[in-house]
Structure 1
């Protein structure tokens, strides 16, 4: 019996007016290009409250087989922003130490900051797929995604879902539950060299180190 090929089957059953060629089922594979992100805010949620500073740090790449850790973390982006509302929580300012009153005068407009950040991420990623990295992901992603969509004409350079949660990766690799996978519970071999200072750039670099350690960790 003659063998019917996939091309013949598709051509026979394709509705009139549609291309009678087999669709390409092999999507182009691109390298993931990771960006460690950290933000400092004046409250718990975007909209009513504001990002006061944020940093993005090139954190490595992965082609599906090999993870490449950067030689250093000098490739980064950092901005301090004007608040977008009059609302703030003193507790948040006490943690990050930023002068909100000064930023009202000297901070960059969010539209300019997000445009420049978008351009930097896309340029740094090149032909790769930018992936947002945070620890935990939920807080930083929520804020920066909202700001990109709200203030950048090009939207988010990370799409709506290209993101990596270090906390989940620690849980999966270590066998700890999510509740026990915070920074304070990291095994010694995953600890970064840098301290957590609540300065966005310092913490994004520290987080990038943790990310690389977790990615390369053989349990």
Structure 2
């Protein structure tokens, strides 16, 4: 389960500021947290404010190439099978992770597809207007590890209580 925070709407022109990942298992005990130095001078102050960080603070974050290389190693270490990218808003989160992986490492360990947590729940409920967010236990704080953990909790609930067939 992955969640990202950015300082704008698209990768390349804007920067991914931070991201968190949680291996979905019963314990939710394997996490990754990356804080990335901006790749562009361009940023949207409102988008950056969501992350809770200032522009001065993010300027001191880590080199994105190192963070993405470390994340690739973490994925390889914790995933026993082909890793599957799942997020609350995979259209947004995926484009940043995919772009950063290809730009900085030349390869995306997740391949070329992703899964949307909200869509999984909508299918379970057979209702395109419903939301899974009440299934989170961890408060949604915009710390990407907290948010990924809450989403992973929701996915585990979908498996345990709603019969979602998913292999961990």
* TM-score normalised over the length of structure 2: 0.91
**RMSD, aligned α-carbons:** 1.5
Cα distance in structure 2, aligned partners of 1:75 and 1:218: 24
Summarize the Cα distance change of 1:103–1:94 in structure 2 as closer, same or farther, 3 Å threshold. Answer: closer
Equivalent position to 2:105, from 152, 155, 158: 152
- Specify every segment of 5 or more residues in structure 2 that has no aligned partner in the other structure, as ranges: 164-168
- Contact 1:52/1:100, CA 8 A, preserved across alignment: no
Partner of 1:47: 12
Q: Could you list the runs of 4 or more consecutive aligned residues of structure 1 that deviate by over 2 angstroms after TM superposition?
A: 181-184, 215-219
- Specify every segment of 5 or more residues in structure 1 that has no aligned partner in the other structure, as ranges: 1-35, 61-69
Partner of 1:91: 46
Larger radius of gyration between Structure 1 and Structure 2: 1
- Contact 1:43/1:49, CA 8 A, preserved across alignment: yes
Cα distance in structure 2, aligned partners of 1:94 and 1:216: 36
Cα distance in structure 1, aligned partners of 2:65 and 2:157: 34
* TM-score normalised over the length of structure 1: 0.70
Partner of 1:100: 55
Partner of 2:166: none
Task: State the 1:183 CA deviation.
Answer: 4.7
Partner of 1:58: 23
Q: Secondary structure of the equivalent of 2:83?
A: strand
Q: Secondary structure of the equivalent of 1:107?
A: coil
The structure with the greater share of residues assigned to strand is: 1
Higher relative contact order (CA 8 A, sep 6+): 2
Cα distance in structure 1, aligned partners of 2:42 and 2:72: 26
**Count of matched residue pairs:** 163
